[in-house]
Amino acid sequence: MTSLEHVTVPLQQLDPELPPPHYAHETDAGADLVTSEDFTLEPGERRLVGTGVAVAVPAGWVGLVHPRSGLAVKHGITLVNTPGTIDAGYRGEIKVCLLNTDRSTSVSFRRGDRIAQLLLQPVGRADFATVASLEDSDRGAGGFGSTGV
Ligand SMILES: O=c1ccn([C@H]2C[C@H](O)[C@@H](COP(=O)(O)OP(=O)(O)OP(=O)(O)O)O2)c(=O)[nH]1
Ligand SMILES: [Mg+2]
The domains of the chain are located at 11-122
Nearest partner of 78 among 86, 88, 66, 90, judged by Cα: 66
Give the distance (Å) from ligand 2 centre to CA of residue 104.
Answer: 33
Give the distance (Å) from ligand 1 centre to CA of residue 120.
Answer: 15
Of 2.40.128.20, 3.90.1170.50, 2.70.40.10, 1.10.357.10, the CATH number of 11-122 is 2.70.40.10
ipTM above 0.90, yes or no: yes
Please state the pTM of the whole predicted model: 0.96
Q: Can you list the positions of beta strands (E) in the chain? A: 11-13, 31-34, 39-41, 46-50, 53-55, 61-66, 77-79, 84-86, 95-100, 107-109, 114-122
pLDDT in tens, 42-98: 999 999 999 999 999 999 999 999 999 999 999 999 999 999 999 999 999 999 999
